[in-house]
Amino acid sequence: KKKKTLKIVDTGLGMTADDVEKYIAQLAFSGAEEFVKKYQDDSGNNQIIGHFGLGFYSSFMVSDSVEIDTLSFQEDAKAAHWSCDGSPNYTLDTGKREVRGTAITLHINKESEEFLEEGKIRTLLMRHCRFLPHPIFLNEKQINDVEPLWIKPASQCTDKDYLNFYKALYPMEPDPIFWIHLNI
């Protein structure tokens, strides 16, 4: 909080310098317009939402600059460090990361300092990440610890499971009168 930074870290596949160049630098600055045009006239079969790289650039809405330090899972890969202030200029150098994965550091701008508050981050994570299939942690406490019942067959759910799930979503409400199980 004192440094005015927010760091998002994973231990996933990571990226090579070539991956960073392709998926972060080129997509955002040279390929984004072409990418948007490709999906603009589409009948909805392909959606722009969820494509890697595009959502990443929303980080500049709250940040003066963004850094990525990443190490790919690929054998003999070298860590890569990318830094940008939101302009078309960026640096891509050798990174310091020693374990597979990626660390993204947002240097939060003055207008967005509310995102440095743990309560604000917790609220956002609970709203948008609560049922993701991979564990999400905030300050070493798991945020998404409730298993969504819609991914389980009804035969594997007990009345207690349904009640606990409902209470996790609506803690101040009385118990439901009944429930219907839908698998998605």
Q: What is the pLDDT of residue 49?
A: 47
- 33-to-18, 43, 75, 91 alpha-carbon distances in Å: 21, 18, 34, 22
Confidence of residue 129 (pLDDT cuts 50, 70, 90): confident
Going by the DSSP 8-state scheme, the letter that residue 167 receives in this structure is H
The pLDDT tens digits of the residues spanning 62-84 come to 999 999 999 999 999 999 999 99
pTM of the model: 0.75
Mean pLDDT value of segment 146-153: 81
Structural Rg of the chain based on CA atoms: 20
Mean pLDDT value of segment 154-167: 89
Burial 143-180, CB ≥16 within 10 A → b, else e: bbeeeebeeeeeeeeeeeebeebbeeeeeeeeeeeeee
State how far Cα 169 lies from the chain centre: 21
CA distance 102 to 72: 8
The pLDDT tens digits of the residues spanning 23-41 come to 887 655 554 555 556 555 5
Which of 20, 8, 144 has the alpha carbon at shortest distance from 63?
A: 8
Going by the DSSP 8-state scheme, the letter that residue 46 receives in this structure is S
Tokens of 36: 């948007």
